[in-house]
Structure formats: C-alpha cells, structure tokens
Amino acid sequence: MLKNITDTGFDLSIVIITWKMKNLLKSCLDSIYKYTKGVKFEIILIDNKSDDGTVEMIEKDFPEIRLVKNESNRGVAPARNQGLGLVKGKYILILDADIELIEDSISQLFDYMEKNSSCGLVGSKLVDPNGLCQYSCKRFPTFLSLVYRRFEHLDFVRNSRTLQFHIMKEWDHNSISDVDYLIGACQFFRKDVIDKIGFYDQNIFYGPEDIDFCLRIWKAGWSVVYYPLTSMIHREQRITKKKLISVLTIKHLLGILYIFKKYKGKIKK
C-alpha cells in the first residue's frame, strides 16, 4: 500500500528539463497528472531558454510546477543539477520531456524501490508510439560502440556485434534485471544516492551523463535495475543524429571523450 512519507513532504520529486518541446512537454505533464495515483509528488521544470511559448504555457496551465527559467541552454547535466538542488522528495524521477505515461508507471516504480532497498536506481520499459521496445538499458560502452551509435542508420553498423552487444539486443527485455545503465529519459532513484555520490557530472553538456551517473551508483554499492512490468511512451527526439555535424553534436562527442578520459578508457563496474 503506497502512502506519503509525511504530511508536508513529498514521496517524489519529478525533475524535467526542456528545450523547444512545448507540445511534447504538455502531453508529458498531462499524462503524469492523469495516471499518477497514491504518490505525493512535486514537479520541478528547468527550461533551457526554449523561446517557443513553453514558459508561458507552464505559467498558465501548470502554476503549481516549480519553474526555473534559464537565460541560455545550459545542457542536460547542468540543468538537471539545478533541479536536483531543489528537490524535497524521498525519491527523484528524472524524465525527458518527450515521455508520455500510459498507465500508473510512477507508482509502480515507487513501490519497487520501497520494497528493494539495495536498488539505487530503476527505470521502466520505454516504447515508441507504435509500442515497439526501445533499448533503454545498455551495457557499459566501449569507445567504438558509442561512435557506432551515431551511424546506426547504416545497416552494417546497426547489425554489428559491437552495437548489438552494447544495446543488449539479444536479451529478453521483458524481465526485471540488474543492468549496467539506463538512459536518462527515465531514471527513478533515491535521494540518498545524490547525498552520497553527488549530482550529474557538470562537465558533460549532453550525452553520456547517464552512463557516468549509473556507474557511480554501482560503485557506491547500489544496483541499477530495469523494470519492464510497466511501460512509458518515449517519442525520442535524437537531436544529435538529425545533423551529422552541429554544435550540439560536437558537444556530445566532447562528452564521450571526457568520460573515457575520466575513467582512463575503461568504463566498467
């Protein structure tokens, strides 16, 4: 039975960052309020200078949301950290603005964490709008596997052993299991995690901050768990793959180089 931790606190703080995704964000927020039952939550929204009416929409339609309006696009890790600095919940849920709930997934994740104290972070199954499974849990990458992900539109890359091993394509994605890491589109974790390991790495503007965060959770003694008994729609934007070369692409590649330098070329538990 789910219940609030206190009369005045929150069970959960939901942190969402957004950049030019007004309509997707509204669908995300509407679905959270529609489906989330039995969990007392707050939503903290970090807007990375969208300039598309997002701020005005939030202020008009969702005045209860704690809104942070950045004067520039601060990237993923720095903006998420702004949200983490404001949380009041026992647990934290990082959600991408292009996520849409189709059932009471949040309560299920909350319940799982309440019953499994060894789990530091859990994430639900993600599916595309047609219901097809997205490979949101992955093995820690080699440098080559991350490079391959930029060219997976090519058949020989998409079907390579390197990429298929990285995305766990051979594995049954309907089973609850410990995994190396979960992508940042849906990461549900204990506030105790950031009290112990800190926030996302500020040096990563966009890219492998999710890898780094999950690795530090493992090293701190918790597990990272894929929980596919509930699903969320992820209308994945994949903005770095829309242009082969862009400022964001370069920052993404710099993030990849940074994380391999940080772990001396070996990303493993």
60 falls within a domain: yes
267 falls within a domain: no
Q: Mean pLDDT score of the chain, rounded to an integer?
A: 92
Stretch 214-239: mean pLDDT, rounded?
93
Stretch 219-240: mean pLDDT, rounded?
90
1 falls within a domain: no
One-letter amino acid identity for 30? D
Please give the Cα distance from 203 to 158 (Å, whole number): 29
2 falls within a domain: no
pLDDT of residue 153: 78
Model's pTM, two decimal places?
A: 0.92
pLDDT over 60 at 5, yes or no: no
- Report yes or no: 48 and 70 within 8 Å, Cβ to Cβ: yes
- Report yes or no: 146 and 256 within 8 Å, Cβ to Cβ: yes
Question: Looking only at Cα atoms, what is the longest distance across the chain?
Answer: 56
Confidence of residue 136 (pLDDT cuts 50, 70, 90): very high
63 falls within a domain: yes
Residue 152 belongs to a domain with what CATH number?
3.90.550.10
pLDDT of residue 157: 85
Three-state secondary structure along the chain?
CCCCCCCCCEEEEEEEEECCCHHHHHHHHHHHHHHCCCCCEEEEEEECCCCCCHHHHHHHHCCCCEEEECCCCCCHHHHHHHHHCCCCEEEEEEEECCEEECCCHHHHHHHHHHHCCCEEEEEEEEECCCCCECCCEECCCCHHHHHHHCCCCCHHHHCCHHHHHHCCCCCCCCCCEECCEECCCEEEEEHHHHHHHCCCCCCCCCCCHHHHHHHHHHHCCCEEEEEEEEEEEECCCCHHHCCCCCHHHHHHHHHHHHHHHHCCCCCCC
Q: Dihedral sign for Cα 217, 220, 226, 227, please.
A: negative
140 falls within a domain: yes
Confidence of residue 6 (pLDDT cuts 50, 70, 90): very low
269 falls within a domain: no
Task: Name the residue range of residue 37's domain.
Answer: 10-262
162 falls within a domain: yes
In terms of pLDDT, which residue wins out, 128 or 238?
128
pLDDT over 70 at 31, yes or no: yes
Q: Work out how many domains the chain is built from and give that number.
A: 1
pLDDT over 50 at 33, yes or no: yes
